[in-house]
Structure 1
Amino acid sequence: MEKLFEQFSVGLFFWQLILFIALYLFLKKFAWKPILNAVTDREEGIKNALASAEEAKKEMQNLQADNDKLLKEARAERDAMLKEAREIKDNIITEAKEEAKEEAAKMIVNAKATINQEKQAAVADIKKQVAELSIGIAEKVVKKELASSSDQTKLVEDMLQNITLK
């Protein structure tokens, strides 16, 4: 340190002080202001970006809540539609069963009516054949003059055994 005091020069110190002040003023005017302005602008940009990010986060939360709400509504609507579809299906099945029962009942009634008609036609045909047979037998009996009633009875019985229904 003594060496420093021995070599100390006031003139050199003065010029160094003037250069330091000039450099300080020069840097203050041309360098520090733009640097400080850039730092300030950067700080404001970061603040704005953080505010925008926070706002975006809030919007995302709101959108998420809206999405959840819409999803719940969509699920409720889907469930309602499925319930309605099941009810419609059940109604259609019930109506189809009822129509099938009604159609089956109509078919049974029609079949019974057809059977009765065919039965009546068959009975009428049998009556006609019996009448024709009776007339035929009567003709033969009348044509053949039989002396006794036992011969007539025997003839009728023989004819009945030989005759087959058409």
Structure 2
Amino acid sequence: MDLITPEIGLFFWQTIVFLVLIFLMAKFAWKPILGAVKNREDSINDALASAENARKEMQNLQADNDKLLKQARAERDAILKEARELKEKVVSEATGEAQEKADKIVAQAQAIIQNEKNAAMADIKNQVAALSIQIAEKVVREELSNKDRQQKLVEDMLADVTLK
């Protein structure tokens, strides 16, 4: 028997064994193998869909985070602006109040100084008047003690006085 020349009997039995093997494979192995492949394909598709959903969710979260960050920055800027305006207002009011108080104190001090000046002037006038009266009294006593001097004083005074 030659190994190279095919025999019909051997070919026939090999064909039958092959057909039985295909039948057994189709009956018992193909369905579980195809089911496993189908399950694997479904799980891969589910994983891809989940990954896509997760990616979309991450994009949405990123957009929400960006939006929240912009809002937080806007609120921060608004709060800082409001704080600056409040500071300026408080400083302005405090400056105005301080200026008013300073003006009031200066006015009171000027009034006090003027009153003291007027009182001093009145006191000086009174002292000058009292001193003048005392001097005049002494002069008049001295002058009036002598009749000739008295007459001369009256004449001198009349000469100084001019009628208008």
If the length of structure 1 is used for normalisation, what is the TM-score?
A: 0.66
Aligned to 2:55: 57
Identity of aligned residues (%): 60
Aligned to 2:83: 85
Q: C-alpha separation between the residues in 1 aligned to 2:127 and 2:97?
A: 44
Aligned residue pairs total: 146
Letter in 1 for 2:85: E
Q: C-alpha separation between the residues in 1 aligned to 2:23 and 2:134?
A: 158
Aligned to 1:41: 39
Q: C-alpha separation between the residues in 2 aligned to 1:87 and 1:3?
A: 106
Q: C-alpha separation between the residues in 1 aligned to 2:96 and 2:3?
A: 125
Q: Does 1:4 align with 2:11?
A: no
Q: C-alpha separation between the residues in 2 aligned to 1:117 and 1:123?
A: 10
Unaligned stretches of 5+ residues in structure 2: 150-164
Aligned partner (choices 92, 95, 98) of residue 97 of structure 1: 95
Unaligned stretches of 5+ residues in structure 1: 150-166
Letter in 1 for 2:89: N
Deviation at 1:99, TM superposition (A): 1.4
Deviation at 1:60, TM superposition (A): 2.0
Aligned to 2:123: 125
Q: C-alpha separation between the residues in 1 aligned to 2:27 and 2:14?
A: 20
* Aligned 1:83-162 pairs, distance under 5 A: 83-131=81-129, 133-134=131-132, 137=135
Q: Which has the higher contact order (CA 8 A, sep 6+)?
A: 1
Aligned to 1:154: none
Q: C-alpha separation between the residues in 2 aligned to 1:85 and 1:78?
A: 10
If the length of structure 2 is used for normalisation, what is the TM-score?
A: 0.66
Q: C-alpha separation between the residues in 2 aligned to 1:29 and 1:133?
A: 152
CA-atom RMSD in angstroms: 3.2
